């Protein structure tokens, strides 16, 4: 389980970093999205992988790490997903504006 997920994180990171270095704005936006998947999964993985142990406690009871998975990385990642969306949106609009303004989709605004 851990091996598969970490391999996945590795591939997502590598693809994201590769795209980050590319000259076209659209490549960078896809790269950032891939990278944010990788980072979100990485943070999530820091709470260790558990099957069938969602952090939902019994009514009136108290939970523990023995019976439930770590809720903190999940809370972190939840906001990160929404912020990641906001970042993608902002970057997309800047990309479009830059394309309209400079006439090229190169990241520097000129070939």
Interaxial angle between packed helices 2-20 and 25-45, expressed in degrees from 0 to 180 and rounded to the nearest 10: 150
Show contacts with other proteins in window 92-111 (CB under 8 A).
92-97, 99-101, 103, 105, 107-108
Least separation, in Å, of the C-beta of 106 and other proteins? 9
Listing DSSP states for 8-19 in one string gives HHHHHHHHHHHH
Show contacts with other proteins in window 43-72 (CB under 8 A).
44-65, 68-72
If residue 94 lies in a helix (H) or strand (E), which one and from where to where?
Answer: helix 71-102
Show contacts with other proteins in window 12-41 (CB under 8 A).
12-24, 26-27, 29-31, 33-34, 37-38, 40-41
Identify the CA nearest to 40 among candidates 86, 89, 74, 17: 74
Show contacts with other proteins in window 71-90 (CB under 8 A).
71-72, 74-75, 77-79, 81-90
């Amino acid at each position: 389980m851990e091996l598969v997920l970490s391999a996945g994180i590795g591939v997502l990171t590598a693809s994201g970093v590769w795209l980050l270095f590319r000259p076209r704005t659209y490549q960078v936006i896809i790269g950032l999205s891939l990278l944010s998947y990788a980072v979100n999964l990485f943070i999530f993985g820091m709470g260790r992988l558990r099957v069938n142990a969602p952090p939902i406690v019994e009514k009136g009871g108290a939970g523990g790490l023995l019976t439930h998975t770590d809720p903190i990385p999940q809370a972190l990642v939840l906001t990160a997903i929404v912020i990641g969306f906001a970042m993608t949106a902002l970057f997309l609009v800047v990309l479009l504006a830059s394309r309209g303004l400079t006439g090229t989709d190169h990241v520097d605004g000129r070939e």
